[in-house]
Every structure is written in structure tokens, then in C-alpha cells.
Amino acid sequence: MLATIVETTDVLIMAVDLDYNIIAINAANAAEFERIFGVRPDAGDNMLELLAGQPEQQAQVRAGWARGLRGEHVTFVEDFGDAERERPYYEVKFRPLMNEAGEQIGAYLFVTDVTDRLRREAQLKEAEAARRASDALYRAYFEHSPEALFVIAVEAEAALWSNR
């Protein structure tokens, strides 16, 4: 049952040994890796060798995995991939992989694509900034106008006025 869950989830899952050799990878991770890096990984492949022709991406992958391979529990959000292809944003969680004796033998990760969430958050921030700017402009006009102004908010049953 667990194997079915791991293979059918949209969460990207991978485990590597201390030399960046892939121990396990689910289908979602293999497909996404191929989409953003242009090469499809499989168990037994060395992740750094797969990216040998892409030194910038290789360095980014090495840096991301390094902390997990040092035994740290790490969570961060970052964009990954070949700039010529696509660079989605991911929330990445690294954890050390231990054997039965409690010795670290590698690291594993769980990755979720958060590109759409970050895009929506950015749009919300832009809309909020525009609303604040509009409110400030309206308030400045209302407070500094030499004419009498009335604003009647029917729904709120409130009225604002300026007697300048």
C-alpha cells in the first residue's frame, strides 16, 4: 500500500546515498526532473553526473542536497531548473537517511511545486498595494479639497464629509 501511495502522489520523492547516487525516486520526481533539467533520472544514476552538462544546475542541486547529506533537517523554497526550459518554485524538505544501526547513509527529500501559490500571493500583494495607494490618493483628495465633499455609503449607513 505504501509503495502505491509513493508512486501515485504528486509529491516529488527521492533518496540518494552520500555520493549522490539515486537510491529511490518516485515517478512524479523522475518526470519533473526530466521536465526541468531535460534528462530522466532512475535509481542507480548519479545525480551530479546527470547534470554534468549543466554546471549551474549541478551546483544548485549539490548545494541543496549538501545540508541534508550533512544530517540537517532542512526546508526551503527555491526555483530550480534550466532557464531555457522552465524554473518552477518548490518547497523542498531534506532529511537524513539512516540505516538500521542509526548511521547516516544518505538523504531523502519531499518536494512540492509551490509556483502557483507564490504567483497568487504576489498578485494578492500587488492588489493590496494598489488598494492602499488608491485609498491614500482618495483620502488626500478628500482631506485637502477646498470644496465641500460628501460620500455616502448606503450599505454601511455612514457618511463622510469635508467642510474645507
Domain final residue, candidates 98, 113, 128: 113
Confidence class of residue 47 from pLDDT cuts 50, 70 and 90?
very high
Is the domain of 26 the same as that of 101?
yes
160 pLDDT higher than 60 = no
Domain housing 28: 2-113
Counted domains in the chain: 2
Question: Where is pLDDT greater, at 156 or 5?
Answer: 5
Q: What pLDDT score does 93 carry?
A: 95
Model pTM above 0.85: no
Question: How high is the pLDDT of residue 133?
Answer: 77
What number is the average pLDDT over the span 105-119?
Answer: 90
Task: Give the pLDDT of residue 123.
Answer: 83
Residues 131 and 104 in one domain: no
- CATH of residue 36's domain is 3.30.450.20
Over residues 13-40, the pLDDT tens digits come to 999 999 999 999 999 999 999 988 899 9
User: Do strands 158-162 and 74-79 pair parallel, antiparallel, or not at all (unpaired)?
Assistant: unpaired
Long-range contacts of 41-46 (CB under 8 A, 24+ apart): 41/14, 45/21, 46/19, 46/20, 46/21, 46/22
The enclosing H or E element of 25 equals strand 22-25
Would you say residue 50 has pLDDT above 70? Answer: yes
- pLDDT for residue 22: 98
> How far apart (Å, rounded) are the C-alpha atoms in residues 153 and 151?
6
Looking at the fold, whether 137 and 109 belong to one and the same domain comes out as: no
